[in-house]
Structure 1
Amino acid sequence: MAKIYLKSNYNEKLAPFPRTAYSIKVNRQEYYALITHMDNQIGRILDALEASGKAKNTYIIFTADHGLALGDHGFVGKQNMYDRSIRVPLLLAGPGIKAGKVIQEKVYLQDVMATSLDIAGSNVIKDVDFNSLLPLCKNNSKKGYKAVYGAT
């Protein structure tokens, strides 16, 4: 029988061992401090858009490439297949998008490019296999993907 070798999770080696309740608590505090700072900075951008009178005519797309485990399942990094690592934020706001609407459909982050082209009134490049998210956001006339493929 062939031996299978799995590459060790380098990301997890960066965090201190042993993982203690205190180290996980500090890790979460640091992460939430970063999120709070980012939230404040995004608020400044939104305030500036409002003050300029351009907010009602502006699309905003906010996303990230992954989440962090923050101690769940003994991990602190991102390279695992638990929800904290694979369920990433994706928020859209703009003309015709109802505030607070939640969509449960499966989508790809690469759909953001197709969405940006759609917003700009440009055609999606024919070799691009991704879809604009605007139909999902505006009227649910379209379904997401049956399944998605990803990696961490």
Structure 2
Amino acid sequence: MTTSTALKEPDTQVSGQELREAMRVWTTGTTIVTAREPGGQRIGLVSNSFTSVSLNPPLVSWCVDKGSSAIDAWMAAEAFSVHILADGQEHWIRKFATRGADKFQGVETTSSLLGTPVLEIPGTRMDCQVVQLHEAGDHYILLGQVHRIEAR
């Protein structure tokens, strides 16, 4: 049985900065998400918004900032790979968190079966096909169906 009650209008608003400060104390996993734009250029970024959504079918999601320097490429990508980082891989975070830089400079990659760039690093990788895209405030949520999981 479900009931519905009208929500009262809050007396105050929380600022984005307040939310950011509060979320800094919540420990999350860190991933690097990679893809190819339609022209073949590799794109990648650090994401801590990665989460599983469904087991049947196997779905995951992550969020990209609308202000990303590669937002048009992310919106056009048909697939992505999520590289789940482990302790001791902080250098990958620094490399892929730099806004506007060539994140793949000096990085050897192969291609997944979906054509996404694969980082040759220890850990778990999921190759996913984009199935939905949702606008959510100043981000987009990309929902992907997992087609392959590889653990190294």
TM-score by length of structure 2 reads 0.29
Give the number of the structure whose alpha-carbon radius of gyration is greater: 1
Q: Which has more helix, going by share of residues?
A: 1
TM-score normalised by length of structure 1: 0.29
Higher RCO, 1 vs 2 (CA within 8 Å, ≥6 residues apart):
2
